[in-house]
Amino acid sequence: MARRLGGKNSLKIADNISGTTVTMYYVLPTNKQRLAYQNASVERKGNQIVNKTAEARQEYGLEILTGVGAGDLEVMRDGAWVPLITDAGATGFDPDWKDVVLERAADLVELLAAHVFDVSARISRDQGEDAEKN
């Protein structure tokens, strides 16, 4: 399948806390977002470089996050666990869902950002006959 340069993308995460799979929906970042993410990942303070990777992953991961799989995350409401609804057209939609995800599952947001911004591709080990021809 080809890389789709628009629309909704998904990342399935094996969540070690719940023992289930959480699906995160996102849009591909623009080049401007990629550069801003890289710039936000480090900060210079005098002669020192400060690693700000976690903060950058949270900020930009949240920026590209468009939703979470139905029923993949639950929140306590009125004494009962209910699904966190991230689809604006669905009954029970929580308009503050991104704040909830960042506050309670920042690790998932960071993993999404790491996947999309830091390791979105890898070099294939098997270059095959095409490499020999070039």
Q: pLDDT tens digit string along 84-97? A: 999 999 999 999 99
Enumerate helices (H) and strands (E) in the chain, giving the number of each. Answer: 5, 7
pLDDT in tens, 55-85: 999 999 999 999 999 999 999 999 999 999 9
Report whether pLDDT(131) > 60. Answer: no
For residue 121, pLDDT beyond 70: yes
What average pLDDT does the structure give for the chain?
93
Distance separating alpha carbons of residues 56 and 109, to the nearest angstrom:
11
Calpha distance 37→31 (Å, rounded): 10
Mean of the pLDDT values across residues 24-39?
96
Domain residue spans of the chain: 9-120
